[in-house]
């Protein structure tokens, strides 16, 4: 096989029985709030449509400037800015349906953010008739000023969310509800991953997305690069890739569920490394913000050429097959 055979390479994937035409999709957070932004993703080469994290009520977000690209990555403190679940449903209805013709061209992943288990339950209840493929519960946004502790780091609070939400979803499934439930997780230390993995097994979560933004501060000309929270915010981009890979690898060792890898992807080799560590698909954030929807086509073509050079026909040929140093 040579680079001329790249058109025969299959980069599709399957997550929770749902077929994705490409393993590359957008990450919740950037360019995925308005109807126009979601349509652009829908019409691109992205393998799915992932929404901005939705909350019960409208959130204006933190003051500008709240996003800064510094080459090696980005820092943001958007503060979960979104139109709220009522307006979001209107947007998603227009996106999902064309007149009386249902469009299932790509899986729809709806990201939800809440501070309490009832937030998630009420939003799933309100959106359940949209035939969403997957709900990604964002318990790890680092940019809520005044929020003392993320749910993802409060293991008792996280268990309360998982217990309540999975119990509610189990009852919905008896009535034909089919959406899969996943968690968007922050960077963890190894001992934390072990505890969270046990919890995920206990409550039978369908998939995880890891990692959400790290936490840091960027200085630009002796000033903080962003305004909110004294310049502290969520780190994304190339600088967090090693942390993402370590989290993916350990969760893959401990869990038998699909993992969507996110963190530091800007090249085909970055995608390869995420999948090598155990991811079934990847999400793009900083690079997508930087260049727009064309990144999905670029990365797809580059990944196919890379796989052809390595003599891999599909991502299943190397997924989770990272070797230890000998």
pLDDT, tens digit, 9 for 90 and up, residues 270-307:
999 999 999 999 999 999 999 999 999 999 999 999 99
Q: In what order do the strands lie in the sheet with 74-76?
A: 67-69, 74-76, 232-236, 214-217
Structure tokens at 224: 């903080």
The residue annotated as part of the active site, out of 16, 32, 101, 141, is 141
pLDDT confidence of residue 25? 98
pLDDT-flagged residues of the chain (< 50): 1-3
pLDDT confidence of residue 147? 56
pLDDT confidence of residue 2? 45
For residue 18, list its beta bridge partners.
15
**What sign does the dihedral 273-274-275-278 (CA atoms) show?**
positive
Which domains, from first to last, does the chain contain? 3-317 (3.20.20.70)
For the entire predicted model, the pTM comes to: 0.96
> Is 277 an active-site residue?
no
């Amino acid at each position: 096989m040579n680079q001329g055979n790249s058109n025969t390479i299959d980069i599709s994937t399957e997550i929770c029985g749902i077929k994705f035409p490409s393993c590359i999709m957008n990450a919740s957070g950037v360019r995925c709030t308005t109807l126009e932004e979601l349509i652009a993703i829908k019409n691109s080469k992205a393998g799915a449509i992932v929404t901005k994290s939705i909350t019960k009520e409208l959130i204006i977000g933190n003051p500008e400037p709240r996003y800064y690209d510094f080459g090696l990555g980005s820092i943001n403190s958007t503060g979960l800015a979104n139109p709220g679940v009522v307006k979001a449903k209107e947007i998603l209805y227009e996106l999902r349906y064309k007149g009386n013709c249902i469009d299932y061209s790509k899986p729809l992943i709806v990201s939800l953010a809440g501070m309490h288990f009832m937030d998630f339950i009420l939003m799933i209840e309100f959106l359940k008739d949209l035939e969403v493929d997957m709900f990604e519960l964002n318990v790890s946004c680092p940019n809520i000023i005044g929020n003392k502790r993320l749910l993802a780091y409060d293991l008792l609070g996280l268990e309360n969310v998982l217990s309540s939400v999975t119990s509610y979803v189990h009852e919905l499934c008896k009535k034909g509800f089919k959406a899969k439930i996943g968690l968007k997780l922050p960077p963890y230390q190894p001992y934390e991953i072990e505890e969270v993995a046990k919890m995920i097994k206990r409550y039978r979560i369908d998939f995880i997305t890891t990692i959400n933004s790290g936490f840091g501060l960027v200085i630009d000309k002796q000033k903080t690069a962003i305004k909110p929270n004294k310049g502290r915010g969520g780190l994304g981009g190339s600088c967090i890739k090693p942390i993402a890979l370590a989290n993916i690898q350990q969760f893959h060792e401990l869990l038998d569920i699909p993992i969507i890898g996110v963190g530091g992807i800007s090249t085909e080799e970055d995608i390869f490394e995420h999948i090598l560590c155990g991811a079934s698909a990847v999400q793009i954030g900083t690079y997508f913000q930087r260049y727009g929807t064309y990144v999905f086509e670029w990365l797809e073509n580059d990944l196919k050429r890379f796989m052809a050079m390595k003599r891999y026909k599909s991502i299943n040929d190397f997924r989770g097959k990272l070797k230890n140093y000998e």
